[in-house]
């Protein structure tokens, strides 16, 4: 089995734990604000081909720097477009004691999502809007699968983070805050990551983060973000 990888990125968290982010090619959304449009569609252009053993071997070389709270993030694009490869990679990394996190749009069948959910220490799902029509117009997909998978993750034992890319003129108004808070409360997720985009900075998201924290959400605010 082979997978198509756009890049492998290395970073260190503030506490010194190591993180390796594996960026998978391909995405089934068409977000108007996408920072990586080259990853959209079912494309292998500009990618490197890996077997599970080869990629797992490369990632486990850094096992000593991961620490207890470090590990590998599977990102994209949309990793779950390469489901079988992702499942086998998760199993290989976990067998070596390496933590795995998944970053996904959630816009995949629930049967697909369930296959990988229990294989990950944590999953991050993007939630771009609370209104289905607005979401459809700006991403090319409705919200049904995303909401169902977010709700399923919230009920699972896997740690869920909901990432909100805050986009000027689309979902950053005062009324948007109230709608997002209500939706998050209904879905059941308690960890939220706010990512400012389009020139926004963290300080401008204080009303958003304050409204969530008052209701008991754990909120992380990126300094700047890319959608």
Q: What is the pLDDT of residue 13?
A: 59
Does position 168 have pLDDT exceeding 90, yes or no?
Answer: yes
Does position 74 have pLDDT exceeding 70, yes or no?
Answer: yes
The percent helix, strand, coil of the chain (3-state, each to 5) is 40, 25, 35
Shared domain check, 11 and 87: yes
DSSP 188: T
Structure pTM? 0.93
Reported confidence tier of residue 12, pLDDT bands at 50, 70, 90: low
Domain at 214, CATH number: 3.80.30.10
Neighbours of 198 (CB within 10 A): 15
User: For the chain, how many structural domains are there in total?
Assistant: 2
Domain region containing 91: 1-103
Reported confidence tier of residue 173, pLDDT bands at 50, 70, 90: very high
Shared domain check, 142 and 199: yes
48 token code pair:
């490197």
Range 206-220 average pLDDT = 94
Residue (of 144, 136, 74) closest to 108 by Cα position: 144
Q: What is the pLDDT of residue 36?
A: 82
Range 122-129 average pLDDT = 96
Neighbours of 79 (CB within 10 A): 28
Shared domain check, 95 and 23: yes
Residue (of 120, 89, 130) closest to 1 by Cα position: 89
Q: What is the pLDDT of residue 14?
A: 46
The verdict on residue 83 lying in a domain is yes
Q: What is the pLDDT of residue 211?
A: 93
Domain at 49, CATH number: 3.20.20.70
Q: What is the pLDDT of residue 43?
A: 66
The verdict on residue 111 lying in a domain is no
Domain-ending residue, one of 69, 103, 137: 103
């Amino acid at each position: 089995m082979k997978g198509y990888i756009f890049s492998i990125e290395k970073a260190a968290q503030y506490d010194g734990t190591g993180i390796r982010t594996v960026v998978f090619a391909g995405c089934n959304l068409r977000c108007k604000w996408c920072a990586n449009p080259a990853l959209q569609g079912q494309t292998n252009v500009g990618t490197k081909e890996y077997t599970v053993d080869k990629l797992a071997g490369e990632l486990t070389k850094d096992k000593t720097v991961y620490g207890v709270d470090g590990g590998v993030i599977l990102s994209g694009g949309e990793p779950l477009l390469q489901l079988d490869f992702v499942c086998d990679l998760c199993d290989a990394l976990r067998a070596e004691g390496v933590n795995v996190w998944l970053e996904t749009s959630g816009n995949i069948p629930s049967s697909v999502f369930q296959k990988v959910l229990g294989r990950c220490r944590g999953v991050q799902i993007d939630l771009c809007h609370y209104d289905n029509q607005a979401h459809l117009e700006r991403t090319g997909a409705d919200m049904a699968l995303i909401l169902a998978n977010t709700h399923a993750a919230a009920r699972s034992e896997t740690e869920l983070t909901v990432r909100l890319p805050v986009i000027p003129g689309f979902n950053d108004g005062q009324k948007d805050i109230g709608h997002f808070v209500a939706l998050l409360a209904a879905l059941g997720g308690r960890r939220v990551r706010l990512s400012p985009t389009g020139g926004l900075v963290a300080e401008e998201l204080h009303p958003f983060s304050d409204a969530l924290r008052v209701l008991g959400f754990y909120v992380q605010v990126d300094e700047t973000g890319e959608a």
